[in-house]
Chain A
Amino acid sequence: MSRYFDIDDIIMEDELSSVVFKVGANGVGLLDPSAETNRVEQGSKVELPFWLANELYLRQAVSVIVPQCFNQKTRREIQADAAYVDLRSRCPYFYELGCKVAPLIGDRTIGSFLLYAFMNRFKDVLSKAHSAAFAVAPRFLPLLTKEEMHLYEAARSSMTAFKKWRVGGSRFEKASILGKKKRSGE
């Protein structure tokens, strides 16, 4: 797994999915808040983080229910006005979770849905990253998923670096890790 140490990948796998246990499991009552004994009964519907849901699915111990952010309602909203859907509040890892969950729920349409959403949103990300970022950012940024934020940051920071270069100035700077403490002479 080349992403073993990847922070985003790890946090993404904390996203919850609803699963139905096809088997019973002893000694793990903590997973099911409604359980009265220290076990999860066969047929219980439980919310599990993706890292657990996925592995249990592969072992045929659970079936996975389509997460809300990929349901028909969200799809209709995206089709109506992709750029203005608040995807972050639905799932900050919308695309990543979509890619990983699609095989589990055997839904062929998730791939094209993600593609459609991404295609119709990424242009906005770009133009806002490069243009009047300050005016639109407060309204626009909170709608973005993590991946879209990374894209926005990629575009914005390379533009900022370019502008800084064009203005000129000192080529040597204090290491940013030292913080911006008082500088004598200022």
Chain B
Amino acid sequence: MASSSEGLGLGFGSEDVDPSIAMTTDVELLKRAWRNEKAAPEILQFQHELVQRSSEQVQLMEETVEDFEQNGADPLTVSVYQMDLDRMQFLLRSYLRIRLQKIVKYMIHISKSEAWSRLSEQEQKFSKRCMDDMEKHLNQSVLSRLPYGYQSILKQSISSEEDDMVPQPHLDTYVFCKSRTPLGALQIADGEDPMDVLADFLYLFHYKSIRSFVESGHVDLF
């Protein structure tokens, strides 16, 4: 990948900063994770440490706000801290929520693919439970009342060669994104000239062609 390093001693040329360790606040990272998760058609890697740190910060801030309230601090200050806390909590909740929605939608597919390892331990537990509940529900209303050979929740009938009933994420879609660093010349389409992908431009890409850059943190979805 082409990456010019014109960074001066002072400050950071945006291009030579490894995006995964660039000096950024957790809120910024959480916002990025939230945007990516919202825009990506499939479930992305759970951000364990980030969520852990964010929850701790939320807790700390909750204690601070409580302290302020008890010590009769100026109500405006309390209110500002509360708003700050609320913004963080919204991001955290919304991030976890989008993931749950995707998990429920694609639970069987996820459980049978490498995507399973992208879930947190709690999400895996939730997913298993949801699968059991859904299976039970579909079994008692439909499947158990169908003739033998047609009762599978995965296959349309015993003559199906593969699991032809399982919903899968639609990776064949388009996403808006920005690259954090110049990606250099990318081969976007077979048999086409590579295209120079610049930083800070908004692009509309085929999700599959930039999927790996989203995973590596070089590209942000929007």
Contacts and interface: CB of A to CB of B under 8 A. Distances in A.
B is a partner of A: yes
Interface in A1-21: 1-2, 4-5
Interface of B: 164-170
Contacts of B170: 2
Interface of A is mostly: loop
Nearest to A6: B167
Question: Closest 7 A-B residue pairs measured CB to CB?
Answer: A2-B168, A4-B165, A1-B164, A2-B167, A5-B167, A4-B167, A1-B165
Interface size class on chain A is under 10
Contacts of A4: 164-167
A1 B156 CA distance: 10
Nearest to A1: B164
Interface of B is mostly: loop
12 contacts: A1-B164, A1-B165, A2-B166, A2-B167, A2-B168, A2-B169, A2-B170, A4-B164, A4-B165, A4-B166, A4-B167, A5-B167
A5 B164 CA distance: 11
Contacts of A2: 166-170
Interface string A116-129: 00000000000000
A12 to B, nearest CB: 17
Contacts of B169: 2
Contacts of B168: 2
Contacts of A5: 167
A51 to B, nearest CB: 12
B196 to A, nearest CB: 28
A5 B167 CA distance: 7
B70 to A, nearest CB: 30
A125 B38 CA distance: 27
A5 B166 CA distance: 9
B129 to A, nearest CB: 20
Contacts of B167: 2, 4-5
A109 to B, nearest CB: 24
Nearest to B169: A2
Nearest to B162: A1
Given A2-B167, A4-B164, 10 more contacts: A1-B164, A1-B165, A2-B166, A2-B168, A2-B169, A2-B170, A4-B165, A4-B166, A4-B167, A5-B167
B174 to A, nearest CB: 13
A2 B169 CA distance: 8
Contacts of B165: 1, 4
Interface string A137-153: 00000000000000000
B146 to A, nearest CB: 15
A165 B38 CA distance: 20
A2 B170 CA distance: 8
Nearest to A3: B167
Nearest to A4: B165
B116 to A, nearest CB: 18
A1 B157 CA distance: 13
